Amino acid sequence: MATTGSEQGFMHWWRERSAWKRARLEGRHLVRESRRILRKKSYRIAEPISALVSAQADAVEEALKGQDLERVRKAIAALDDSMEEHLTFARKSTVREYSESIGVAVAIALLLRAFVVEAFQIPSGSMIPTLEVGDHIFVSKFAYGLTIPFTNTKIIQLARPKRGDIIVFKFPGDQSVDYIKRVVGLPGDVIEMRQEELYINGHAVARQRVPRPYHYSDAGHGAGPPEDHEGELWVENLDGHKHETIQEPVRSARDFERKVVPADNVFVMGDNRDNSSDSRVWGTVDLSLIKGKALVVWWSRATADGMSPIDWLKSIRWNRFFQVVE
């Protein structure tokens, strides 16, 4: 099929635009490289050569200000030829340039992960309804201070966890495993559970039941097939921090005897109160084990093995993208 005049005009415009973009990127890169070499290797470059290369770099910059593609190409070729003839000893190979760029990117990523933010995946249903199995969240490692990487030693203490904060921490029983729970008790607090109600320092935590059934499915705490549950949805208020919790009426009420939270520790619980292994089971969390505070869900997908591509797409929870964790 023959192309129309308008289509040919568009293709010509697109080719010119692409060529100009490539020339602009190449010219800017070449100018940066030439000025870097002249600055760092000036002691090895004769004055006439330095003046020539500097003038040619100026010519490339001047050509880039205009719209004459041919002029830009000639200026780039002249500068490249001079650098190849006189400055080859200092020019970086393509492999070296890519290696350095990748190295810098990796270093920045590692620094961000070590001190600023880290990605974390929710492996179980212990924090439903706030966090679901398959949620991927970002955790602020800067929220409470700076920790020396691969240690529990804090070099800067900025803040301490508050009641209601959702934290990621190293599991006290196996510090190679990360857990995520909600802080309900601070150092010195007296924590107890009576008939499924949480008491702090002798006072029941204010809560209100949502008058509708709540059905959910988890992934069997990270192992085994999903399990269906029916529970009661409650809105709990921890020092003004409102959040939802679940309890299952079919289960017998579990009491938790009074426990005083030790100094420099916090008492944590899952929002899925009857399906959470937390401080009621294995004790409190030392502040030194806390890695950071949950910030936002950036990706969420229901997990299941053997999904077809279509089912995989259907399993994505689009409504949870960039949902703030509270």
Active site residues: 126, 181
Q: 292 — alpha (psi -120 to 50), left (phi > 0) or beta?
A: left
Contact (Cβ atoms closer than 8 angstroms) between residue 308 and residue 120:
no
Token duo for residue 204:
């029941």
CA distance 272 to 295: 19
CA distance 128 to 142: 25
- By C-alpha distance, which of 261, 178, 248, 255 is closest to 218? 248
CA distance 163 to 243: 11
Widest distance between CA atoms in the chain: 90
